[in-house]
Amino acid sequence: MGREMGVEGIREFMDTHAVGFPTDRHGRALPGIPATPENGYKTRRIRCEAERVNHTHTVVLVEGTSDESAINALAERRGRNLAAEGISVVAMGGATNIGTYVGTFGPPGRNLRLAGLYDAGEEGAFRRGLERAGLGSDLNRSDLEALGFFACVADLEDELIRALGTAAVERVVDAEGELRSFRTLQKQPTWRGRSTHDQLRRFMGSGSGRKIRYSGPFVAALELDRVPRPLDGLLTHL
């Protein structure tokens, strides 16, 4: 298990190690890394996450905030407080950032224990990021799970909808006051005649912040013996 890190240690590390960041502590561009607005945004985001990861021995890397919310909600339902256990769930803002975050928190950086949740379509990015950090070679899905990284077949919303069933998901949507909006989507020519499962997936992705807003209610509605496999595997591993 890696070292715990406090805020000061994180600040020092972030200021003095490149790990793919565009500037040093004086704001100078690092060699070979373009000082673009996008890279500047990534730097600020990772610094913010690093400040939040305090007295942590395990960092759980996920693609988005809805994944983070679902993991914490399920942990609570199981009577766990991940932060109190020294476990921080970090949303990376997309799978393509995995290499930078592994470099920051994993063996090349603070050497903390890592775990994660990812969409199966992004498995290549996760595999390459972990391999470059020295966590294995020619990793397959079983190897990734042994490291603590679990794949959702499509995405976490798909997993939760399948675990709940469409009728239960519609009840959650109704409780959130959006059933009428969902019925409108079902009548659209593009989605008319599609399965309710596919319509619900589209609905979750069609509104600003909807995935984040529904992740907690979906987990709250789950029967604890029907938790999606990747979520269950991750919580068991931690």
The mean-pLDDT minimum among 26-40, 88-102, 119-133 falls in: 26-40
Closest CA to 115 of 155, 138, 75, 88: 88
CA distance linking residue 189 with residue 204, whole number of Å: 18
Residue 5 per-residue DSSP state: B
> Angle CA(14)–CA(30)–CA(26) in degrees, nearest 5?
60
Q: Label residue 51 by pLDDT band (50, 70, 90).
A: low
pLDDT tens figures, 158-216: 999 999 999 999 999 999 999 999 999 999 999 999 999 999 999 999 988 899 999 99
Q: By percentage, how much of the chain surpasses pLDDT 90?
A: 75
Residue, of 14 and 62, whose pLDDT is higher? 62
Q: Mean pLDDT, to the nearest integer, of 143-163?
A: 97
Closest CA to 97 of 39, 36, 178, 172: 39
C-alpha dihedral over 55, 229, 97, 68, to 10 degrees? -50
Q: Name every residue whose Cβ is closer than 8 Å to that of residue 216 and which is 6 or more positions away in sequence.
A: 69, 70, 73
Check if the beta carbon of residue 141 is closer than 8 Å to that of residue 233.
no
Residue, of 43 and 228, whose pLDDT is higher? 228
Compute CA distances 118 → 7, 107, 124, whole Å: 27, 20, 10
When the pLDDT of each residue in the chain is averaged and rounded to a whole number, the result is 85
pTM of the shown model: 0.78
Closest CA to 70 of 141, 163, 148, 5: 163
Q: Label residue 55 by pLDDT band (50, 70, 90).
A: confident
pLDDT value at position 20?
A: 43
SS3 label, residue 23:
strand
Q: Name every residue whose Cβ is closer than 8 Å to that of residue 195 and which is 6 or more positions away in sequence.
A: none
Whether the per-residue pLDDT at 145 is higher than 70: the answer is yes
